[in-house]
Chain A
Amino acid sequence: MIPVLRSEWLKLRTTTIPWLLTGIALVITGLSIVFYFVNKGSGGGPRDQGNFGPPTPDIPHTTQQLRDLLGTGVGIYVFALLLGVLIITVEFRHKTVTTSFLTTPHRTRFVLGKIMIAALTGAVLGVIVLAATLLGGGITLSAKGGSFSSLARQLGAVAPGMILVYALMAVLGVGVGSLLTNQVAAIIVSLGWFLILENIIGGIWHGTVKWLPSGAASAASNVSTGRQNIFLFNWWQGSVLILLYGLVFAALGSILLARRDIT
């Protein structure tokens, strides 16, 4: 198991995929933090809708506000999904899959190796985004008169859910990529689904939201924030749901791959 992971990690780090995705994710995280403070500065945005406390000051100070700030990265878990998609489709794009199948002829085992490395690197991506948010958000916060440590104290509540969602989304990405081995198609379908289709479907049939991957991700990310959206599952149900999506796709993908002629 360890050699397989080492091999997969070596393969992954010698492509531009992890570096490019991490770079873009960090840039967007930075922008999100800026946007968050600008939004707060203008008197509070929709994030405060559930907050019936005293009027919102310029800087986030309630537990929920701080958790929202620290959990900004949850909103871009799509990068973890893309990571998973790319981890498997890159083999087909560059035809390295021939060598991989010669080395690991059991194709289910090949997909399993991808799932493992995706879960691991997805989690690492979550940690990196979270660390960047803590650093960027904390520094901005202290510059505005708040305290860095007030944000850092929310790590215990935010980190597990966020890292879990990143890991699971990367696994889901491998599932999608095993079904749709054409890299471009897999990316378009993934982004189209998460950024457009889910919003439409959820907008029309509200009851479906909790069953959709993004609804499940929202549920899973609220591990212990205590913020339960009544429309969603609880955190572990959401997590199991994403994992199920990922594993069902990967299982179907493995079946298709097993029959596929590599020419």
Chain B
Amino acid sequence: MPSAIEVHSLSKRFGAVHAVDDLSFEVAQGRVTGFLGPNGSGKTTTLRMLLGLVSITEGTATIGGRRYVDLDHPIRHVGAALEATSFHPSRRAEDHLKSVALAGGVPLQRVQETLEVVGLSEVARRRVGKFSLGMRQRLQLATALLGDPEILILDEPANGLDPQGILWLRSFIRNQADLGHAVLVSSHLLAEVEETVDDIVIISEGRLVLQSTLADMASRTTAGTGMRIRTPEIDRLTAALDAVPAGWRRTGPDTLVIDGASPEWFGHFAAEHRIVLYELVQEKSSLEDVFLELTNGFDTPRPIGPTDGGAA
């Protein structure tokens, strides 16, 4: 299947700062791709280059093989909801969408349709200046959906959404993929998109760290897996384990961690030796741990330095 989005050797320099550095990845049609990286890693700059808002220093970024600016009525092909996009505060939600529809060659009936999809029908006549951050995010999504595009690009869409909003966003994104649309969704938190994405692209400091399917990345999490056991018969257990032998380490008076064993195996093992268990916990290093490890854990705000890029 042809790629919906292709980024090839893409670079962006702001003066001496490499905000994006030789970045290549692809987004497949009909799949949700999470575009992940810490704040300031170049995600927003990459998306904005893809959309023709920021000039490209080197490389290419194409949508269905064409540059965004070369698309005829681009919002009918690509819907984008970007961070830091704003609305005129005295404009009503409906009028904002109408003005975009008119300029973008989209039938006006789409205005009400998209307002309904994002659940803003009731505030359609309200001025955007009175909107909460969550409502603005929804209006941003409505704007992206207006042209009924086959490709959606969402930059940190979960920011400002309440928990219900995030649940809604997840089903919304899944729904888009089920319709056969490609979705590229950026986030600085893997957990935020973990349940939604099929593929992931991880960048750090403007460079590609990993592109894979989520499933492949999840398999990495088994490395370093441990099972935490709590038992009143810890001495009998350790003796039995030594006889197998299996690797274990004591972590408390009645707890230990066994490495490289499955819960199924251990359940039978404990039953055979008639050892009483109080607790059996699979200690997975989470995807988030892997993500943080891959991106050097730079997920917390760090001082602005020459490598920061100011690209958030």
Q: Which of A31-74 contact B (CB under 8 A)?
A: none
Given the known inter-chain contacts A3-B102, A7-B102, A103-B74, please indicate yes or no for A14 contacting B88, CB distance below 8 A: yes
Q: How far is the CB of B34 from the nearest CB of chain A, in Å?
A: 22
In the complex, the answer to whether A11 meets B52 with C-beta atoms within 8 Å is: no
In the complex, which residue of chain A has the Cβ closest to the Cβ of B102? A7
Tell yes or no: A259 within 8 A of B by CB.
yes
CB within 8 Å for A94 and B80 given contacts A11-B99, A103-B100: no
Task: Tell me whether B88 and A94 are in contact (CB under 8 A).
Answer: yes
CA distance A4 to B105 in the complex (A): 9
Interface stretch of the complex, out of B90-98, B213-221, B232-240, B260-268: B90-98
In this complex, which of A4, A105, A113 has the most chain B Cβ atoms within 10 angstroms of its Cβ? Answer: A105
Please, could you name 20 A-B residue pairs with CB atoms under 8 Å apart, sorted by A? A3-B102, A7-B98, A7-B99, A7-B100, A8-B103, A10-B98, A11-B99, A14-B92, A14-B95, A95-B84, A96-B87, A98-B85, A103-B100, A104-B103, A105-B69, A105-B74, A261-B14, A261-B48, A263-B44, A263-B53
Q: For the side of the interface on B, what is the size category?
A: 35 or more
Partner of A262, one of B14, B54, B88, B98: B54
Q: Which residue of the partner chain A has the closest CB to B75?
A: A103
* Docked pose: A261 CA to B51 CA in angstroms: 11
Q: Is B35 at the interface (CB under 8 A from chain A)?
A: no
- Total residue contacts A-B, CB cutoff 8 A: 91
Pick the most buried of A6, A90, A99, A263: most chain B CB atoms within 10 A of its CB: A99
* Cβ contact within 8 Å between A102 and B51: yes
In chain A, positions 244-263 with a C-beta closer than 8 Å to chain B are 259, 261-263
- Distance A8 CA – B99 CA, assembled complex (angstroms): 7
- Which residue from chain B places its CB closest to the CB of A105 in the assembled complex? B69
CB <8 Å contact, B100 and A98 = no
Q: Which residues of B contact A194 (CB under 8 A)?
A: none
A contact residues around B100 at 8 Å (CB): 7, 99, 103
B89 lies within 8 A of chain A by Cβ: yes
Partner of A99, one of B44, B68, B85, B105: B85
Q: How far is the CA of A7 from the CA of B104 in the complex (A)?
A: 9
Query: B143 on the interface (CB 8 Å rule)?
Result: yes
Contact B102 A259 (CB under 8 A): no
Find chain A residues with CB under 8 A from B14 CB.
261
Does B109 interact with chain A (Cβ within 8 Å)? no
Q: Which B residues touch A262, using CB under 8 A?
A: 48, 53-54
Q: How far is the CB of B296 from chain A (nearest CB, A)?
A: 24
- Rank and list the top 3 A-B pairs by shortest CB-CB distance, nearest first: A7-B102, A95-B86, A7-B103
Question: DSSP class of B's interface residues: helix, strand, loop or mixed?
Answer: mixed
Out of B48, B71, B87, B102, which one reaches A94, CB within 8 Å?
Answer: B87
Q: Map CB proximity to B onto A131-174 as digits: 1 under 8 Å, 0 otherwise.
A: 00000000000000000000000000000000000000000000
Within 8 A of A (CB), among B35-87: 44-45, 48, 51-55, 68-69, 71, 74-75, 80, 82, 84-87
Supposing A3-B102, A261-B53, A263-B54 touch, asked if A14 and B68 sit within 8 A by C-beta, the answer is: no
B223 to nearest A CB, angstroms? Answer: 39
CA distance A78 to B85 in the complex (A): 31
| CB of A117 to closest CB in B, whole Å | 11
- The verdict on A199 contacting chain B, using a C-beta distance below 8 Å, is no
Closest Cβ–Cβ distance, residue A34 to chain B (whole Å)? 32
Q: Are A10 and B68 in contact (CB under 8 A)?
A: no
Cα(A98)–Cα(B44), bound, Å:
13
Interface SS majority for chain A: helix
Closest to A106 in B: B69
Contacts of B87 in A (CB 8 A): 94, 96
A10 to B101, CA, bound (A): 11
- Interchain nearest-CB distance for B128 vs A (Å): 10
Among B14, B86, B95, B99, max chain A CB count under 10 A is at: B99
A3 and B73 alpha carbons, distance in the complex (Å): 13
- Smallest CB separation, B216 vs chain A (Å): 33
| B contact residues around A11 at 8 Å (CB) | 88, 91, 99
Instruction: Write out the residue numbers on chain B whose beta carbons fall within 8 Å of the beta carbon of A105.
Output: 52, 68-69, 71, 74
- Residue in B54, B95, B105, B143 whose CB lies within 8 Å of A10: B95
**Across-interface contacts of A228 in B (CB, < 8 A):** none
CB atoms of A6 and B75 under 8 A apart:
no
Would A90 and B88 count as touching, CB distance under 8 A?
Answer: yes
A101 B103 Cβ-Cβ under 8 A: no
List the B residue with the shortest CB-CB distance to A94: B88
- Which residues of the partner chain A approach B71 to less than 8 Å between Cβ atoms? 105
In contact, B102 and A4 (Cβ under 8 angstroms): yes
**B88 close to A10 (CB less than 8 A):** no
Q: Counting CB contacts under 8 A, is A15 at the interface? A: yes
> What are the residues of chain A within 8 A of B53 when measuring CB–CB?
98, 101-102, 261-263
Q: Out of B74, B75, B90, B102, which one reaches A15, CB within 8 Å?
A: B90
User: Are B68 and A103 closer than 8 Å at their CB atoms?
Assistant: no
Does A208 have its Cβ within 8 Å of any Cβ on chain B? no
Identify 11 new A-B residue pairs, CB closer than 8 A, beyond the known A8-B99, A106-B69: A8-B103, A11-B91, A11-B99, A14-B88, A16-B90, A96-B85, A98-B82, A99-B85, A101-B53, A104-B104, A261-B14
